[in-house]
Structure 1
């Protein structure tokens, strides 16, 4: 029996409220599901590229079968039950526009794309879990990163109005479909936008707010800051019933941190300053805060790092520091992420499953060549790239000031060469592991992602559960 939610969540001053009472949304993002990402499930390159490679190997029928089973197993009632048992109350649902629209048949909404989204939203409601629908990949790509699934490093969403028009149509359909669902906390129209001119994002937010409100006047909009959710410097008057969302990853939670994290006053002050900077706009408008993404990555024994357990202890300490800062700000949060193959998730696919056994050699190769962008250790390829970075710095020194401002020459070069060019070329190799598989074998591979075939990252979940019990301050 689905639990009752008698009212929509709404914004009142600094709070999100329901039934007249303030509520803090605490949970995780279901990344790697309806918007796949390479580091989460192990494929190379961009989602549409690996899907094309798999379709070529499997054929249309087996291709559709495998991905339908993958989407089914990735989040089931057992996942919802476990998530709720931790005292968490909200799941952010990243989706890719390709589920709802075909580039070769634009402006025609694919209702079949709602099948698994409806299923998971209903499962979550059964266990008292709110959901936020997040358009993680918009037509044309709203950001310059791999997770907008464009296959390049350009955010063409901002230079072609047609992409924006199609995105509006998608949101109108989603609003029409979910307008009466009180367990949907709201809509996150664009994940981590990167508008180099800053003003186009604000214009789009005004436009999408009007389009959604004309159909659905009740749901909250969760609006990410510019430049990956970190820059609100150009934002003006807030839109009604909207929560502004930052993303707050710590450099101490990733390979090659500035220094070991020991929780010194200086390190804690650094994290406080970073979060305060990102939330300065929310303070000015006296509105609620939603941290849509944050969280360290973790090492495993298979990484070949002798002190991997000590590294993880430091990263858990980083996480505790961040959560304590959010608690003092009454900030809602959504950690990245719920499930993966052992990199960052609250749960992760066991190494004994069919999927992990099959792809073990390929996953090792990906680590050795630093194919992924997110949280990878570039040490194995650093010497290869250093001469090219030096050459590019001399030939085009302005690369160091290229947007986004936090990326330097080495990252721009690695992003294009490793994470785009090389990773795209690895898609066929990944797909070759699936060649000749029967439907029964494909079902077993997909079922590797089911709750019963996953392990829990126990310390992470204990930290989240403890924070989930915290009340408003």
Structure 2
């Protein structure tokens, strides 16, 4: 039986005191849904509400039961371990446990879904990190917190924070004796405009968890989407790791510069990483890179120059891995732990992805092509140039003209430009809210057999693998 992992200085160590490097990925759009991962528009709760209305309760329940069952099996765990990966990050939605109409009760069925994947991983020697990816009101301004607005209202309402503190306490009770759970990631990518409320919340979470579980590591994301630790205390929270997210601009369709591993480009990669771990280095605490990885070109999205684009993205992945191999904040040349985003999807970032011949892709192809042309995915957005030119550019130009320049950075997060906020409100929120109904219509007349086939598109035996990416991961250490 393995013992608990813990933190010693800048290292995560096993029960015998020897350093261990957690190498892994996030599971994908399984217990938390994101629009680009599985292909819907907007936000998970809106998507499921529309599907329920169109499909009816019986077919809705049947489809989601099959989807949850097929998405992660022992075959996934076996393959994951074969990639030389030893830790799975499991993003989950708070709505698996909490009903928005009554935050006072925790639904035990949420544990059944989490337990299956935790236990499956344990059977294959894989640690897990439990990642609460959404909270009531949204911990940040973006779609992946299942937030249907562009404001992070979690920070405004004490009742939201109280129920999440209580939820984590019950999760800790449930897993307190499970040594294959590496630890708890209390909140993905928080974005508190005041900064200090996040630190206060982490203090509450730590106290609540430690009342019932003294052993598990806490993986604490920095503020402003796991990038800003300037308000974190110099004395780290005990037995905790600071979690950064280290995405590179070179890895996205919007990038105007093709990555070719020049000395200048590698220097920029390193500088971006060094900036994110600066506080951890000063505080002498451990770092976990909880998310990173490029978006790949795909024939399923009718991308151009697929081989050229993906060759550059694999090169980028190789160079980032090289940084993490000597990336310990102590500067002693030891590697840091990391979790690539992500394991399974429909062809954007996954180590594995569905097949172009799958029922999911064949049935939804007209929808997926429309969604891509409209630019409804902020992550990897690649809009039809004519739509961008005729519809959104005039609006963005108008905003630029009427807003005094000194106010262009008045809204938080200041890393977003005015155009980002316009896209968020008009496309990611409003247009997607309407078009969630069009997505749902694709499920209206499907039989139970067809629904089973749709869900089975995500079964391990039906997936395709990114062999070059897998090669880089296998050979890292």
Q: Tell me the distance in 2 between the aligned counterparts of 1:109 and 1:23.
A: 34
**TM-score, normalisation: structure 1:** 0.96
Q: Tell me the distance in 1 between the aligned counterparts of 2:143 and 2:81.
A: 31
Q: Tell me the distance in 2 between the aligned counterparts of 1:443 and 1:112.
A: 22
Q: Secondary structure at the match of 1:217?
A: coil
Give the count of matched residue pairs: 464
Q: Residue 390 of structure 1: which of 390, 397, 407 is its match? A: 397
Partner of 1:457: 466
Q: Residue 431 of structure 2: which of 419, 422, 427 is its match? A: 422
Partner of 2:274: 276
Partner of 2:350: 345
Residue 254 of structure 2 contacts residue 380 of structure 2 at CA under 8 Å; is this kept in 1? no
Q: Secondary structure at the match of 1:279?
A: helix
Q: Tell me the distance in 2 between the aligned counterparts of 1:215 and 1:378.
A: 49
Partner of 2:5: 9
Residue 374 of structure 2 contacts residue 384 of structure 2 at CA under 8 Å; is this kept in 1? no
Partner of 1:212: 209
Q: Deviations over 1:178-235 (max 9, x none)?
A: 0000000000000000011110000000010000000111000000000000011111
Q: Residue 76 of structure 1: which of 61, 70, 73 is its match? A: 73
Give the superposed CA RMSD: 1.1
Q: Secondary structure at the match of 2:372?
A: helix
Q: How does 1:118-267 map to 2 (within 5 A)?
A: 118-236=115-233, 237-267=235-265
Residue 292 of structure 1 contacts residue 335 of structure 1 at CA under 8 Å; is this kept in 2? yes
Q: Secondary structure at the match of 2:232?
A: coil
Q: How does 1:305-344 map to 2 (within 5 A)?
A: 305-329=303-327, 330-344=335-349
Query: Is 1:53 aligned to residue 58 of structure 2?
Result: no
Residue 300 of structure 2 contacts residue 356 of structure 2 at CA under 8 Å; is this kept in 1? no
Q: Tell me the distance in 1 between the aligned counterparts of 2:109 and 2:59.
A: 18
Q: Secondary structure at the match of 1:24?
A: coil
Give unpaired runs (5+ residues) of structure 1: none
Q: Secondary structure at the match of 1:31?
A: coil
Q: Tell me the distance in 1 between the aligned counterparts of 2:262 and 2:126.
A: 36
Q: Deviations over 1:387-421 (max 9, x none)?
A: 11111122224244421111101111011101111
Residue 35 of structure 2 contacts residue 44 of structure 2 at CA under 8 Å; is this kept in 1? yes
**TM-score, normalisation: structure 2:** 0.96
Shift of 1:379: 5.0
Shift of 1:438: 2.2
Q: Secondary structure at the match of 2:182?
A: strand
Q: Deviations over 1:429-468 (max 9, x none)?
A: 011111122222211111111001111111111111111x
Query: Is 1:110 aligned to residue 87 of structure 2?
Result: no
Residue 251 of structure 1 contacts residue 258 of structure 1 at CA under 8 Å; is this kept in 2? no
Q: Secondary structure at the match of 1:27?
A: strand
Give unpaired runs (5+ residues) of structure 2: 328-334
Q: Tell me the distance in 1 between the aligned counterparts of 2:31 and 2:304.
A: 35
Shift of 1:258: 4.1
Residue 263 of structure 1 contacts residue 317 of structure 1 at CA under 8 Å; is this kept in 2? yes
Q: How does 1:82-101 map to 2 (within 5 A)?
A: 82-101=79-98
Q: Tell me the distance in 1 between the aligned counterparts of 2:305 and 2:416.
A: 29
